[in-house]
Amino acid sequence: MNTLFKALNDPTRRAMLELLRQGPRTAGEIAEHFSFSKPTISHHLDLLRQADLVSSDKQGQYVTYTLNMTVMDELLGWLLQFKSDT
């Protein structure tokens, strides 16, 4: 839960998730959408992966990142706990 909120607590990473919503992308393709250096992008992607928000798959020299929704459900559950009994 900690790593999840940590991963979400950055506008760039949230934008990455919204980009990946359109479908899997390689690290390079993701990097093109932002004006940060490749290592910075790589670092952000790493944090997203740590939170299990994305999965990565290496094919040749390319690494493709894919959105992983299952962990979002955990967040959804946490959130709904507040809505439950008002």
By CB under 7 A, tell whether 68 contacts DNA: no
- Report the residue number, 1 or 28, with the smaller CB distance to a copy of itself: 1
Tell me which residues in 22-41 interact with DNA (CB under 7 A): 26-29, 31, 35-41
Binding site partner of 63, from DNA, a copy of itself, none, Cβ cut-off 5-8 A by kind: DNA
Burial class from Cβ neighbours inside 10 Å (0-12, 13-18, 19+) for residue 84 reads exposed
Q: How far apart, in whole angstroms, are the C-alpha atoms of residue 47 and residue 10?
A: 10
Partners of 64 in the β-ladder: 26, 57
Q: Which position has the token pair 């990455």?
A: 16
Q: Which two tokens stand for residue 31?
A: 């990097």
Question: Which residues of the chain form contacts with a copy of itself (CB under 8 A)?
Answer: 1-2, 5-6, 8-9, 11, 14, 17-18, 21, 67, 69, 72, 75-76, 79, 81-83, 86
